[in-house]
Amino acid sequence: MLQPTDIKNPAYFHKVVDCQWACPAHTPVPEYIRLIAARRYADAYMVNWESNVFPGILGRTCDRPCEPACRRGRVEDEPVAICRLKRVAADHKGDIRARLPRPVTKKNGKRVALVGAGPASLTVARDLLPLGYDVVCFDGDPQGGGMMRTQIPKFRLPEPVIDEEVGYILDLGLETRFGQRIDSMKWLLGQGFDAIFVGSGAPRGRDLDIPGRKETAANVHVGIDWLSSVSFGHITKIGRRVIVLGGGNTAMDCCRTSRRLGGEEVHVVVRSGFEEMKASPWEKEDAMHEDIPIHNFLVPKSFTHEAGRLTGVMFEKVKPEFDAKGRRSLMPTGEPDVHMACDDVLVAVGQENAFPWIERDAGIEFDKWGMPKVDAATMQSSLPHVFFGGDAAFGPKNIIWAVAHGRDAAISIDKHCQHEDVSQRPPPGFKMISQKMGIHEWSYDNDISNDLRFKVPLRDKAVALKDVRLEVELGFDEKQAFAESQRCLNCDAQTVFTHSLCIECDACTDICPVDCITFANNGTEQDLRTRLSAPSKNLTQDLYVSDALKTTRVLIKDEDMCLHCGLCAERCPTGAWDMQKSLIQMAHAGHECRSSSNA
């Protein structure tokens, strides 16, 4: 028998807000989308800035784990364009500097060092500076931003956007040591910092050691090194025919950059199948839109060359085969090898961590793969005052994960410096606010739009391909943004049930457009899922179960397809259903999460 759902536990309703739950930084997505619909762009920006620090950057580049999770994608073809709406907030916000924290003059006497000035470190700085910490940030590069500046091509992320959002953090009083690489952890440990945060990224691009590699060195480039050379302006040209090896986001950036630097016939070649490529579907779409074919099931065998010049790449044709356990391996098809001629090759087959500057006897433990041992919740290493985050912690991920790590690490560093137990994590802020304004009026717009996802307008291809620094996406205008915002289902407008008010009239069951609601005798979850109004196959979504009603039955609501339309509450004669906004905000470093001030 299922127990009544504990809706006082913030995690229950948080999980219903699929996007917020999936976002590593737990950005309150529907909240900012409603603000955009209300043309309150600056407010929408600040909701984002508080959660994810780089709304303008992320609104253009985020890996958007929220979108595959978005409920809208379960009831129709495509999720809400959550990411590109974020950009709208950034584009239209106006000047928000007055709303940012001011540099703190009264310092708390604690000093924190940051290694690297990527998004992870900058997030730590953003969270600690307002608390009075002295924060010193070291980076070998001359400017802050990490790979956001050095790797992500400018046609996706223009420099002024980086300057602006990195600038907001520098302006909080960050002490920068840009141009200074840390060569020894032992040295840094000796500098008397109260805490050290390592946000040095995963800087090494994997090479492809196959025959012909040495002979063709002049025209075979490691993708991420090549991209940063392009970013810094050291490389401005590439051959007419280019082959990009690899199927991740580096590969996609390499091929699209090549098209802008003179590559006319640019081909991407991947070992595995098209579907299994690491790049997101929209990245593949963008590449193909720029006339870049993607070839699959081809394993590079050798770089061919003639008279000391690269002539092309030889591939073996393979096909996937599955063993009894369903594991896939790539087996040669036995067909003749395929040769593809080219002038340049970009190798984008993966990225690795490297910590040549951390002495292995400095007190920080590493595992057998050469990765530091880091606690996933606290980001603490085996040396209590050294913390890791971003790509340096668990291998290459993305910006939003770097931010999430930074936020967690900042909490830990603050607790550590205040001599508190870092393993005691503060709970999120959690509020439920009734949305009822009248009999059928809610303080959110429950009449959702039937429109399909709107496409972000692009710059004309011929123009875009001429300039590697010209942003290709134009962003939604206000009208498009409004229309897209209306697709959001307001998943934070929660259906809250009061069992003592229910007269079991069935009105809610009858009206629910997606058959979420069932009144039935209680049972085990497995059994109940076979007895609901509609098939209940999505086990990742919870069942909301009430206390026993007058007839001894219980209410069971399958959260899976709920549109948050509020019709159940509108049709309920007794107010047993209410629509309440769940406001969940992750804790951040500061007084409210220190236990001493809780007491």
Partner 1 sequence: MTYIAKPRFRHPDLPKNTLGFTRRDYEGAVSTLCAGCGHDSISAAIIQACFDLDLPPHRIAKLSGIGCSSKTPTYFLGNSHGFNSVHGRMPSVLTGANLANRDLIYLGVSGDGDSASIGLGQFAHAMRRGVNMVYIVENNGVYGLTKGQFSATSDKGSKSKRGVINMDAPIDLVSMALQLGATFIARSFSGDKTQLVPLIQAALEHKGSAFIDCISPCVAFNNHPGSTKSFDYVREHNEAVNRLDVMVGRSEITADYAPGTVEMVTQHDGSVLRLRKLTADYDPHDRVSAMTYLQRRQEAGEIVTGLLYVDPEPDDLHVYMNTIERPLNELGEQELCPGPKALDKLNAALR
Instruction: Tell me which residues touch partner 1 (CB under 8 A).
Output: 74-76, 440, 446-448, 450, 503-507, 509-511, 513-515, 534-535, 537, 550-551, 561, 563, 565, 567, 570-574
DSSP-assigned letters across all residues of 434-448? E-EEETTEESS----
Shortest distance, position 352 Cβ to ligand FAD, whole Å:
11
DSSP SS3 for 543: strand
Which residues, including other chains, have CB under 8 Å from residue 68's CB and lie 6 or more apart?
22, 79
Residue 495's binding partner, choosing from partner 1, ligand FAD, ligand SF4, none, with beta-carbon cut-off 5 to 8 A by kind?
Answer: ligand SF4
Q: Which amino acid is at 260?
A: R
Q: Is 568 an interacting residue with respect to ligand SF4 (CB under 6 A)?
A: yes
Residue 564's binding partner, choosing from ligand SF4, partner 1, ligand FAD, none, with beta-carbon cut-off 5 to 8 A by kind?
Answer: ligand SF4
CB nearer ligand FAD, residue 391 or residue 559: 391
Q: Is 507 an interacting residue with respect to ligand SF4 (CB under 6 A)?
A: yes
CB nearer partner 1, residue 481 or residue 563: 563
Residue 250's binding partner, choosing from ligand FAD, ligand SF4, partner 1, none, with beta-carbon cut-off 5 to 8 A by kind?
Answer: ligand FAD
Are 415 and 588 contacting, i.e. CB atoms less than 8 angstroms apart? Answer: no
Shortest distance, position 456 Cβ to partner 1, whole Å:
24
Q: Which stretches of 107-158 are DSSP H helices?
A: 119-128, 147-150
Encoding tokens for residue 23? 């976002």
Shortest distance, position 60 Cβ to ligand FAD, whole Å:
8
> What are the beta bridge partners of residue 371?
none
Question: Of these, 27, 249, 304, 485, which contacts ligand FAD (CB under 6 A)?
Answer: 249
Residue 141's binding partner, choosing from partner 1, ligand SF4, ligand FAD, none, with beta-carbon cut-off 5 to 8 A by kind?
Answer: ligand FAD
Q: Is 310 an interacting residue with respect to ligand FAD (CB under 6 A)?
A: no
Q: Is 357 an interacting residue with respect to ligand FAD (CB under 6 A)?
A: yes
Q: Is 52 an interacting residue with respect to ligand FAD (CB under 6 A)?
A: no
Question: Of these, 141, 165, 286, 408, which contacts ligand FAD (CB under 6 A)?
Answer: 141
* Burial track 331-353 (b if 16+ CB lie within 10 A, e otherwise): eeeeeeeeebebbbbbbbbbbeb
Dihedral sign for Cα atoms in the order 356, 358, 362, 365: negative
Q: Which stretches of 27-81 are DSSP H helices?
A: 29-37, 41-52, 55-61, 66-69, 72-75
Report d(CA 554, CA 571) in Å as an integer: 19
Residue 510's binding partner, choosing from ligand FAD, ligand SF4, partner 1, none, with beta-carbon cut-off 5 to 8 A by kind?
Answer: partner 1
Q: Binding to ligand SF4 (CB under 6 A): which residues in 512-541?
A: 512-514, 516-517
CB nearer ligand FAD, residue 19 or residue 62: 62
CB nearer ligand SF4, residue 179 or residue 513: 513
Taking CA atoms, 511 is separated from 207, 315, 499, 516, in Å, by 59, 59, 19, 10
Report d(CA 208, CA 584) in Å as an integer: 46
Closest by CA to 444, choosing from 60, 38, 10, is: 38
Shortest distance, position 250 Cβ to ligand FAD, whole Å:
4
Q: Is 118 an interacting residue with respect to ligand FAD (CB under 6 A)?
A: yes
Q: Is 543 an interacting residue with respect to ligand SF4 (CB under 6 A)?
A: no
Are 268 and 294 contacting, i.e. CB atoms less than 8 angstroms apart? Answer: yes
Residue 119's binding partner, choosing from partner 1, ligand FAD, ligand SF4, none, with beta-carbon cut-off 5 to 8 A by kind?
Answer: ligand FAD
Report d(CA 451, CA 488) in Å as an integer: 11
Are 255 and 266 contacting, i.e. CB atoms less than 8 angstroms apart? Answer: yes
Question: What Rg, from alpha-carbon coordinates, does the chain have?
Answer: 26
Encoding tokens for residue 533? 């109004």
Question: Of these, 458, 496, 505, 587, which contacts ligand SF4 (CB under 6 A)?
Answer: 505
Shortest distance, position 570 Cβ to partner 1, whole Å:
5
Shortest distance, position 273 Cβ to ligand SF4, whole Å:
37
Q: Is 585 an interacting residue with respect to ligand FAD (CB under 6 A)?
A: no
Are 409 and 71 contacting, i.e. CB atoms less than 8 angstroms apart? Answer: no
Give the binding site for ligand SF4 (CB under 6 A). 495, 502-508, 511-514, 516-517, 562-568, 571-574, 576-577
